[in-house]
Amino acid sequence: AQSVTQPDIHITVSEGASLELRCNYSYGATPYLFWYVQSPGQGLQLLLKYFSGDTLVQGIKGFEAEFKRSQSSFNLRKPSVHWSDAAEYFCAVGSYSGNTPLVFGKGTRLSVIA
């Protein structure tokens, strides 16, 4: 069964600084990988996804993520954080064959300070 580990429970960055949120997955086959963002009291919004091809994927709101098969990682990055990026971020893994549901990590809460 697949699993996702997000090692950082809470990260605080200054506005304008760069950001990297870590995600490690465990899955025996080719994974589908996703990053979602959740603002307080809201549902989850898809930031980006990796299915195949280029290992560096671009998403909405200036986010990108890099798939590294050798490290079983799919870290999320943003070069310059805005105060509106403060939210909870979830990494999720699904199966390439499409026969198992998405499994989510426990999330990383991002705080942005002035």
Partner 1 sequence: DAGVTQSPTHLIKTRGQHVTLRCSPISGHKSVSWYQQVLGQGPQFIFQYYEKEERGRGNFPDRFSARQFPNYSSELNVNALLLGDSALYLCASSLSGYDSPLHFGNGTRLTVT
Which residues here bind partner 1, judged by CB under 8 A? 4, 32, 34, 36, 41-46, 49, 90, 92, 94-107
CB of 48 to partner 1, least distance (A): 10
User: Rounded distance, CA 108 to CA 114, Å?
Assistant: 20
The CA-to-CA distance between both ends of the chain, in Å, stands at 41
Between 15 and 49, CB nearer to partner 1: 49
User: Rounded distance, CA 76 to CA 97, Å?
Assistant: 24
Question: For the stretch 71-83, what's the b/e string if a residue is b when 16 or more beta carbons lie within 10 angstroms of its beta carbon?
Answer: eebbbbebeebee
CB of 16 to partner 1, least distance (A): 29
CB of 90 to partner 1, least distance (A): 5
User: Rounded distance, CA 3 to CA 111, Å?
Assistant: 25
Between 11 and 102, CB nearer to partner 1: 102
Between 49 and 77, CB nearer to partner 1: 49
Between 32 and 112, CB nearer to partner 1: 32
CB of 65 to partner 1, least distance (A): 14
11, two tokens? 């990260």
